[in-house]
Amino acid sequence: MLNFTSTKDLQVRRLLGGGPHSRVYLASTVSAPSHSPFALKVVPLASATRPHSHCIEERKLLQELTHPGVVRLVHSFEDCQRLYLLLEFAPGGQLLSRIPVRGMSAEVGRFYVSEVVLVLEYLHGESVMHRDLKPENVLIGADGHIKVTDFGTAKRTEERSFSFCGTAEYLAPEVVMRKGHGAAVDWWAVGILLYELLTGKPPFQAATPYALYTSILTTAVAYPAHLSNSAKTLISALLEKDAGCRLGSKAGAEEVKRHPFFTNVAWKRLEDRTESPPWVPVLRNAQDTGYFQDAAQLEAVLEGF
């Protein structure tokens, strides 16, 4: 049981990733440096775009969520400037790094998307919307199974939210229009995710934010010839621009799981994590970070705080 309240009790080893509002490092405790490491997420407690309440909400959610497909919060503390979240380390890196240039096979994509569906089934059952589901926020554990992370924009509510949040290429039309949104935004994100897994790129891309948002609102998805009919119909149903008609908006995950694309999925085995994953990271030791980008490269692209 960890009970320290200072960074002096931690040994930071290297940068793993992050973004405009956080940094994530590989870290271990000073008292037991050889034990399993943690992913240390460091978040400023307040900024112009992320108030203190958002940080506290993220910690609160992580303390309450218990699912094998959700990254586990081990310990947290704060000082006058930052919140520190010690999370379980997923050494397989981001799902993004597993996507080939032309996309992965339907069998491999089905495995990862199926595990994401189970995570959303759990989150939505807890009245939690993730709201920033993307390959960068799906990690792969040492056993090859996924861990959804980054709950910085997640929200627990049964009401509509009017926040403009998420990653541009993954934003649902109702978020772009700022008309209020519910859990259906996560099912839209699953559609984008599956398309990217199977083709190597998201379906909506543009040179400017305005052009991208216009495409999301008005453009029909173009499907490569190699995609199966079941994959195309699933993606189409998830990328329904009318949130009320979108697959998953009425009966949730059960509605999604009944789609023909998932016909041969062993849901119980996936829930129990006894289904063999398509890839398991080969690790030299518990602190192996070989599946993460080079730290110098990350420093060059991440914004400071």
Q: In order of start, what are the domains of the chain with their CATH numbers?
A: 7-89 (3.30.200.20), 95-272 (1.10.510.10)
Q: In the predicted model, is pLDDT for residue 30 greater than 50?
A: yes
Distance CA 249, CA 240 (A): 10
Residues 271-285: what's their mean pLDDT?
Answer: 96
Percent of the chain with pLDDT over 70: 94
Distance CA 29, CA 223 (A): 48
Q: Exposure of 36 by Cβ count < 10 A (0-12 exposed, 13-18 middle, 19+ buried)?
A: middle
| Lookup result for tokens 């063999």 | 276
Among 37-41, 78-82, 117-121, 196-200, whose mean pLDDT is lowest? Answer: 78-82
Judge if pTM exceeds 0.95: no
Q: In the predicted model, is pLDDT for residue 305 greater than 50?
A: no
Distance CA 6, CA 223 (A): 51
- Report which of residues 237 and 45 the model is more confident about: 237
Write out pLDDT tens, residues 204-259.
Answer: 999 999 999 999 999 999 999 999 999 999 999 999 999 999 999 999 999 999 99
- Report which of residues 5 and 113 the model is more confident about: 113
The catalytic residues are: 132
What per-residue confidence (pLDDT) applies to 99? 97
- Report which of residues 235 and 55 the model is more confident about: 235
Average predicted confidence (pLDDT) for the chain: 92
Residues 6 or more apart whose Cβ sits within 8 Å of residue 29? 2, 4, 9, 10, 11, 35
